[in-house]
Amino acid sequence: MSRPVTIKDIAKKFKCSPSTVSRALNNHPVINEDTRRNLQEYARKVGYQRNQVSLNLLNKKTASIGVVVPTINNYYESAIIEGIDSVLQPLGYSLNICVTNEQFLLEQGYVEKLLSNRVEGIFVSVSQETYDAGHYEHFENIYNRNLPLIFIDREYEGFAVGSVTIDDYHGAFAAVEHLIKTGRRRIAHLRGPQSMSVAEQRFRGYSECLKQYGFEEDESLIIHTDFKVESAIKPVYHLLDLPSRPDAIFCVNDQTAIGAMKVIRDQGLDIPGEIAVAGFDDSPISGYISPSLTSVMRPGRQLGMKAARIFLDYQLADKKDTFSEHIILPPQLVVRESTLGE
Amino acid sequence: MSRPVTIKDIAKKFKCSPSTVSRALNNHPVINEDTRRNLQEYARKVGYQRNQVSLNLLNKKTASIGVVVPTINNYYESAIIEGIDSVLQPLGYSLNICVTNEQFLLEQGYVEKLLSNRVEGIFVSVSQETYDAGHYEHFENIYNRNLPLIFIDREYEGFAVGSVTIDDYHGAFAAVEHLIKTGRRRIAHLRGPQSMSVAEQRFRGYSECLKQYGFEEDESLIIHTDFKVESAIKPVYHLLDLPSRPDAIFCVNDQTAIGAMKVIRDQGLDIPGEIAVAGFDDSPISGYISPSLTSVMRPGRQLGMKAARIFLDYQLADKKDTFSEHIILPPQLVVRESTLGE
DNA sequence: GATGCAATTGCAAACGTTTGAAATTTTTTT
DNA sequence: AAAAAAATTTCAAACGTTTGCAATTGCATC
C-alpha cells in the first residue's frame, strides 16, 4: 500500500530538481561527485526503485514479448517457451505468457491485451477453436500495428512475419516407413482431432506412406482420439477385437501410445512381438518405460530459439514490409524396443 | 514501426480536445450522441487501441502478477501456474511468468524487474541455488514495498504474506508405511538433493516412518539423485548389487522411479514380486506404464488456486500488517501395481 | 434581447521519468 | 576585479490517458 518512493520525493528531500536526482542515479557524468554520492546513498537507504512503467511510456518501449499458447503442461510446449526465453531473456526481454486452453475467445482477448500493453512482438501457437471458427481478425490487428507476429508450431498462413513449424508429415512418414520395413503389414493409426493441422499432417504422412508402399488404406484401422492417454483406451480395445487384428499402431502422440500399450498388455499381447507401437513427441520418459517406446522427436527448444531469432532478425531488417522467414524443422525418428525385437 | 494511433491524433483530426475523444470512446454519458458515434467509428476505422501503459502509470495499477518458478517443464509446476491463472485471469490479472532455472541470480534479477514493473503481487517458488546461497534480500525488498509475497510449493520462512505448500513429510510417510504394511522389510530410498527442502521432507518422512515401525535406518540404502530419470540409473544398479538387496525402493519422484523400474527390469527382476517401487508426483502417465506406478499425488492445481485466493484475501484484508495465511495441503497416496500383487 | 439553464466541450493537472537547452554557480584566466 | 570558461543545476516538454472543474454553446423562457 505505501506508495513507492519516487524521484520527486527524493528531490524534495534534497531541495533539488528531479532532473538532478535522475542524472545522479544514472551516473550521468555532469553531476557533482558529492551530490551523486549523497543521492545514491539516500536512494538506496529508502529503497528507491525506478518505475519502469513510466519509462515504458516515455520510451515507447516495453521490452516485453507476448507468447500465446494453447497449453503449457506438456514437455514439448514448455520446451518451446524455454527456447524462446533462452534467446530473449539475456537481451532483456521478458515474456508475457498467455495460455488459451485451446479457446478462441481467450486467444482473441489475450492478443488484444498484449497489443494494448504495447508488447514488441507476439508469438502465437494457434488454438484449436480458432481453427474451427476460422476467425483470424485478431491476427490481422497485430499485422496492422506493424507488430511482428511469429507463429510457433501451429501456424496460420497470413499476417505473419515468420513461422517455425515441425514437418509432422515427414515425421509420420518416417515412422510408418520404419514399421513397414520391419515387416508390419496391417498398420493402424490413432488419429488426432480432425481440426488440428498437426494431427492432420501426421495422418497424411501415415496415409501417403501406406500408398507409396502399395498398401490399401483401411478405414477401420483409423480411429480418432483427442491426444490424451484415456482417449486411446476404447479405440485400441476396438482395434484388438477386429477379425483381422493390426500388427502395428502408429499413434498421433506418446500419450495415446502409452494408453495403447496398456490396453495391449492388459489383453495379454506382446509388444513388439505381436503388435508394434510407435508414438510422436519423444517425451522424456519414452526411453524408460517398458518396452521403451519408438517415437518421433520434435525439437521444441530449437523451435523456440529459431522463432526468437526470427523476431530479432526482423528488428534489424531494413525492408520490414518484405521480411518473411518460414522455417520447417525436421523431426527425428527414435527407434526403440516397442517396434523392434528385444 | 508505424506509431500506433493515439487519442491526440484523433482529437487533432476532429479538431476537438483529447478529453472529448477519451470520454466518447469510454461512452461517457455527457458526450453528444453524434460526436460519440463519429469518434467511435473513426477510432475503429483507424484501429485505435488504448495504451494500457499510460493507464498503468496514471492509475498506479498494472493488474499484473509476477510468478517466479524454477521450471515449467513438468506437470506439477505447470499445474500450479494453471491453478493461479484459473483464479486470477477471470479477474483481469495477467501473469508474468519468470523461469529461474534454479539459478539465484536469475531469481534475484526477476524479482527486481517485477518490482520495477510494479506488479501487484509476487508468487515465488524458491530456487535451489537461493537455498544454497542463503540470500533472501530480494524477498525482503518485496516485503519492504508492502507488496504481497506468496510462496508456492517451495517456501522461505519470512517476508511472506502467505504460503501454500505440500505436506511432503506425511506423503512420504504414507508411502513408506504402505510398503511396510505390504510386507517389505528392506526399503531403499532414492533421495533428492540435500539442499532442497521438498526432498529433505520426503527423506524425513521415510526416515521417521522406518523408525516408528522399529526398522534400522541403513545408510547404504539411501542414495542421492537430482530428480532426473538418468540420475536414478547408477544408484539403482548399486542397490541391486548389494549383498542383501532391498525389497522396495521409495523414490523422491516419478522420474527417478521410472529410471529405477527400468534398471530393475533390465536386471531381470520382477516388480513388484521381488522389488516394489513407489514414486512421488503421480504424473499423468504413472497409471499407464507397466507395471503401473504407486505414487504420491500432489494437488498442484489446487495449490495454485489456494495461493491465488490468499492474494485476493490479502487485497481485501483491513489489517494487512498482521495478515498471514499459511496452508499446507495433504498429498495423497495412489496405490498401483508397482507395490502390490497383480 | 436579456436571462437562465442544460448540454456539451475544453483546460489543466496528474502519473514518474528522462533529456536538450537554458540558467545559474563556481572556478579559472587575464 | 572583471571577464571568460567550466561545472553544475534547473526548466520545460514529452510519453498517452483520465477527470474535476471551468468555459462555452445552444436553446427556451420571460
DSSP letters, A131-177, are HHHT--HHHHHHHHTT--EEEESS--SSS-SEEEEE-HHHHHHHHHH
Q: How far apart are CA A106 and CA A129, in angstroms?
A: 10
Q: How far apart are CA B77 and CA B198, in angstroms?
A: 13
Give the tens place of pLDDT for each residue, A89-118: 999 999 999 999 999 999 999 999 999 999
H/E stretch holding A335: none
pLDDT at residue B319 greater than cutoff 80: no
A191 and A225 in contact (C-beta within 8 Å)?
yes
Question: How far in angstroms lies nucleotide C17's C1' from the CA of residue B22?
Answer: 24
The answer to whether A258 contacts B50, with C-beta atoms less than 8 Å apart, is no
pLDDT at residue B31 greater than cutoff 60: yes
Q: How far apart are CA B163 and CA B153, in angstroms?
A: 8
The answer to whether B99 contacts A112, with C-beta atoms less than 8 Å apart, is no
End-to-end Cα separation, chain A, in angstroms: 65
Give the tens place of pLDDT for each residue, A262-272: 999 999 999 99
> How far is the CA of B263 from the CAs of A127, B187, B236, in angstroms?
40, 17, 7
Label the pairing between strands A332-334 and A294-297.
antiparallel
Closest protein residue to C13 using CA and C1' atoms? B58
Q: Residue A327, SS3?
A: strand
Closest protein residue to D12 using CA and C1' atoms? A19
Q: How far is CA A324 from the centre of its chain?
A: 20
Nearest to A98 by CA among A88, A106, A90: A106
**pLDDT more than 70, % of chain B:** 99
Nucleotide closest to residue A55 (CA–C1'): C17
A123: which DSSP letter? E
pLDDT for A341 equals 60
Q: Give the mean pLDDT of chain A.
A: 94
Higher pLDDT, B331 or A228: B331
**Nine cell digits for residue B342:** 497383480
Question: How far in angstroms lies nucleotide C27's C1' from the CA of residue A24?
Answer: 22
Out of A72, A141, A258, the one facing B289 most closely (by C-beta) is: A258
B46 to chain A: closest CA residue: A144
A66 to chain B: closest CA residue: B96
Amino acid at B223: I
Strand D neighbours (CB under 7 Å) are A 15-20, 23, 30-33, 35, 54, 57-58, 60; B 3-4, 6-8, 18-19, 22-23, 25-26, 48, 50-51, 54-55, 57-58
Give the tens place of pLDDT for each residue, A13-42: 999 999 999 999 999 999 999 999 999 999
CA atoms within 13 A on the CB side of B184: 31
pLDDT for B1 equals 53
pLDDT for A318 equals 78
Residue of B48, B73, B144, B265 to mutate for A, most A C-beta atoms under 10 A = B73
Nucleotide closest to residue A57 (CA–C1'): D15
pLDDT for A342 equals 44
Of the pLDDT bands very low, low, confident and very high (cuts 50, 70, 90), residue B174 is very high
The answer to whether A49 contacts B115, with C-beta atoms less than 8 Å apart, is yes
> How far is the CA of B278 from the CAs of A23, A291, B28, B174, in angstroms?
60, 19, 63, 11
pLDDT at residue B113 greater than cutoff 70: yes
pLDDT for B289 equals 85
pLDDT for B197 equals 83
Residues linked to residue A297 through DSSP beta bridges, in sequence order: A281, A332
Give me the sign of the Cα torsion angle A65, A67, A73, A78: negative
Instruction: Confirm whether pTM is higher than 0.75.
Output: yes
Residues linked to residue B222 through DSSP beta bridges, in sequence order: B189
pLDDT for B3 equals 84
Give me the sign of the Cα torsion angle A128, A133, A136, A141: negative
Give the tens place of pLDDT for each residue, B40-75: 999 999 999 999 999 999 999 999 999 999 998 888
Averaged pLDDT, B9-25: 95
Label the pairing between strands A294-297 and A276-281.
parallel
Q: Give the mean pLDDT of chain B.
A: 94
**pLDDT more than 90, % of chain B:** 85
Smallest Cα distance from B201 to chain A, Å: 25
Q: How far apart are CA B303 and CA B81, in angstroms?
A: 9
| Helix intervals (H) in B182-229 | 197-212
> How far is the CA of A59 from the CAs of A88, B51, B143, in angstroms?
19, 13, 29
Question: How far in angstroms lies nucleotide C21's C1' from the CA of residue A20?
Answer: 15
The answer to whether B255 contacts A284, with C-beta atoms less than 8 Å apart, is yes
Strand order across the beta sheet in which B276-281 lies: B222-224, B187-191, B248-251, B276-281, B294-297, B332-334
Label the pairing between strands A187-191 and B64-69.
unpaired
Question: How far in angstroms lies nucleotide C22's C1' from the CA of residue A19?
Answer: 14
Residue of B72, B262, B277 to mutate for A, most A C-beta atoms under 10 A = B72
Highest mean pLDDT: which of A313-327, B106-120, B195-209?
Answer: B106-120
Of the pLDDT bands very low, low, confident and very high (cuts 50, 70, 90), residue B342 is very low
pLDDT at residue B11 greater than cutoff 60: yes
Closest protein residue to C6 using CA and C1' atoms? B30
pLDDT for B195 equals 81
Out of B49, B262, B287, the one facing A290 most closely (by C-beta) is: B262
pLDDT for B285 equals 83
Mark B293-316 as b/e (b = at least 16 C-beta within 10 Å).
bbbbbbbbbbbbbbbbbbbeebee
